[in-house]
Amino acid sequence: MTQGFKKLVLMSALLAALVVSLGAYTRLSNAGLGCPDWPGCYGFLTVPNEAHELKSAQQKFPGSEVHQKKAWIEMVHRYFAGGLGLVVAAIFILALRHPSHNKGIKGLSALLVALIVFQALLGMWTVTMNLQPLIVMGHLLGGFTILSLLTLLWLKACKPPAVTIAHLSGLRVIALSVLVVLIIQIALGGWLAANYAAPHCRGLPLCENGELFSLSSLFQLPHSSASYEFGVLPFETRLSIHLVHRVWAMVTLIAILFLCWRLYVRIPDLSVKPVILLPAILVLCQVLLGGAIVHWQFPLLLTLFHNVMAALLLLSMVRVCYLLFYQSRG
């Protein structure tokens, strides 16, 4: 495995992390419809600024008003996402051309290219379907998936630590189960954000009005609307979405702490103790951060950091699972 390939994969993973963060900022700053078309902005490659450009934008999109700040937030996200696509394409070409890359590296590179294409389509549908919540949540999960797979590709490209662990099958099952629990929690967070449900529950640990969630309302999908910006679901449904996200956060906390405890006891190698403990530290910080966000009434920067922490927590779990599954081939 060439050093140049490893550096390119690492760069792409860092770029993916930036794209995910920019996507979260775009969503949280209500800039998802800053540009009503795709991939350009009001028919231009940059945000229209000159008088003739603004006039053209008004003619092409008579129902929209150019909001410079929101439009630039959206376009910067698109520029970096486009750059990520080019880097992933370069990784795929290098993986195919270099004889030292095994089938796993090549297959993962091909999968990433396919996901980037699908993610671009989701980005387009997010705009053309006016922030339809299912599409918005899918776009968020797509970004997290690409970031996770790039991290996995980087781990495969690097030599993992040699660790001796006996009777791994049970630990692998637990680790994969916990990873699924975490993915569900991230999806619930995406569904909460896509439906603008965060402000509908302001108390701790329950909502201010003391209401509990309604199971029947959880299965209510958004009705057809000209625009889904700021949400269209009724108050009770959005409150339920928020509370379920909180309840599952406790399930996720317990699951990750249990996994980390089991691994810490079973793996004596001190060199991987930080890898084992990191998910436990991150999930504790994430729960505390969620409480702080509610307490301080959903400040944008704290909420953005909550999204970034979710990505870091997912990557730490991917690292743990890779550590366990690598041993099956060792």
Please name every residue paired with 41 in a beta bridge, in sequence order, or none if there are none.
44
Query: Is the backbone peptide bond immediately before 205 cis, with ω within 30 degrees of 0?
Result: yes
Question: Can you tell me the distance from the alpha carbon of 114 to that of 110, in angstroms, rounded to the nearest whole number?
Answer: 6
Question: Can you tell me the distance from the alpha carbon of 33 to that of 26, in angstroms, rounded to the nearest whole number?
Answer: 9
Q: Mutual orientation of helices 235-266 and 300-326 as an angle, nearest 10°?
A: 40
Amino acid at 215: L
Q: Under a CB-based contact definition with an 8 Å cutoff, are residues 94 and 112 in contact?
A: no
Query: Among this protein's residues, is 65 annotated catalytic?
Result: no
Residues in the chain: 330
Question: Can you tell me the distance from the alpha carbon of 295 to that of 308, in angstroms, rounded to the nearest whole number?
Answer: 19
Please name every residue paired with 44 in a beta bridge, in sequence order, or none if there are none.
41
Question: Can you tell me the distance from the alpha carbon of 37 to that of 257, in angstroms, rounded to the nearest whole number?
Answer: 44
Q: Could you give the residue ranges of the DSSP H alpha helices within the chain?
A: 3-28, 51-60, 68-97, 103-128, 133-157, 169-194, 215-218, 235-266, 273-295, 300-326
Q: How many CB atoms lie within 10 A of CB 72?
A: 17
Catalytic residue from among 50, 65, 74, 211: 74
Question: Can you tell me the distance from the alpha carbon of 79 to that of 45, in angstroms, rounded to the nearest whole number?
Answer: 10
Write out the catalytic residue numbers. 74
